[in-house]
Structure 1
Amino acid sequence: MLFLLNVLAVSMLSRLYVNKQMLILKKCLKQSVQIIELVHIF
């Protein structure tokens, strides 16, 4: 029983971690796209 709970907890934590990483990646992508657009303007 404890083993199952541990597996669930670990999978939930890893999912949260992955979601956070994806959000950070999306932010970085947005910023780089904005920078590229600014460069194209000049």
Structure 2
Amino acid sequence: GFSTKEIDLIERYNWNIVSLGDRILRTETAAIVAQTILRDF
């Protein structure tokens, strides 16, 4: 998940938070999941 400091920075610069779901994934797994979601989008 995101730390409080990271969320503050995201809000300060008006960035959009992107979620891959409720689970916290390892970097290696998150990349594969993100590619699959984008491919099926």
TM-score scaled by structure 2?
Answer: 0.38
Structure-1-length-normalised TM-score: 0.37
Per residue, is there more helix in 1 or in 2?
A: 1
Structure whose alpha-carbon radius of gyration is higher: 1
Q: Which has the higher contact order (CA 8 A, sep 6+)?
A: 2
